[in-house]
Amino acid sequence: MSKNTVTITDNRTGKNADFDIIDPVVGNACIDVRQLTAKLDLFTYDPGFQATASCKSDITYIDGDAGILRYRGYPIEQLAQHSSFIEVSYLLMYGELPDKKQFEDFNQSIKMHTLVHEGLMQFINGFSNNAHPMAVMVGVVGALSAFYHDSFDIQDSQNRDLSALRLLGKIPTIAALSYRHANGMPPVYPRNNLGYVENFLYMMFSFPSEEYHVSPVATRAMELVFILHADHEQNASTSTVRLSSSSGANPYACIAAGIASLWGPAHGGANEAVIRMLEEISDPSQISKYIDRAKDKDDNYRLMGFGHRIYKNHDPRATIIRKACNELLAEMDTINEPMFKIAEELERIALEDEYFIERNLYPNVDFYSGIILKALGIPLSMFTVIFAMARTAGWVSQWSELVTDEEQRIGRPRQLYMGYEKREYVDNKGDYDPK
């Protein structure tokens, strides 16, 4: 018997079988159960895939207990300090940090794809003017496949690169157009002399009648939001992208599927929930009441933006973004606005109160990113859209990794059937005449 195996015994029959253990570079080892049904006639039951590795990946590593997040082996702290979102996108896609020429070529390639087909402009105008921007994003990104169908051979590396560059270039434009359409504002075309983040803010907020300037502090704060949300291992939306990709679907359909999954409030709506909480508290004098409710075990109320499902002790992204958040609030002179005073006091309490410390209810990345987006004047309806923009870098990287993985097969989860075993047909309609 190999030491790098595990033996599974069916205690009902006494039958047992050995299964290989696959060791990762770092992290939890995995039992290879691909032969479980063949050897023991069993499936595994794991709702939500809490203990199931669905793929091998070289892209992102998370250690929730230690508060570690790495892209391609690089600590998120170093990338946030030294990199731009474009550089991080290159790293996620190609596995290495770019040299100067690679960076310039990659950046220029993205800029060449910022414009969208004029037919898409008409498509956007067909949506109701009160349509949620995420609804527009799902529809328009999916519709890209009807306009850019020259690169559907996903086995061709050049086609994969072209599709990824188009998505990275066009999604900020589509996002800005969805916002302006919802608010009755004229469309603004991208300016390729601006950086990635600056260009997005320009397309969002500028008017033809006056000059628009983007604050460097605001740009950097938004850049951090993008970097910190670029990828996060096999979450719901990324898994959706991979599952869609496993069927051979075109990349635009796969990313649209990821956006649809992200739209769920349990996934992409966390920073929006933070702002709604702050609006509900409404006045600094009311903070203690809500703190007491959060501590009351008989009250279902909980503070949004505190603690994290994955990061048990601290969210490394929150530590990074906190400084940028405070710098932005100081520059925009919002310190006396009730919402931001409430946020400041909640942060202080969470970091000092033993109740929060003992339960690891620390401010997470959603707490600070929500405040940043609010301070920048971005409406709540756009929060998840911006999340989708950032996560596109991770999605296209995960998509490309899957379609080039020779071990991958079309996704086909099994089920634990709990319905009727077999029933005989009974005609209950009697003399019923459908006419």
Catalytic machinery residues: 308, 366
Closest CA to 31 of 50, 5, 57: 5
Q: How far is CA 261 from CA 9, 66, 193, 227, 258, in A?
A: 38, 28, 33, 20, 5
CA distance 424 to 237: 41
Q: How far is CA 153 from CA 159, 162, 246, 394, in A?
A: 6, 11, 14, 21
Q: What angle do CA 33, 243, 75 make, to 5 degrees?
A: 85
Count of CA atoms in the C-beta half-sphere (13 A) of 215: 14
By CB neighbour count within 10 A (0-12 exposed, 13-18 middle, 19+ buried), where does 41 fall?
Answer: exposed
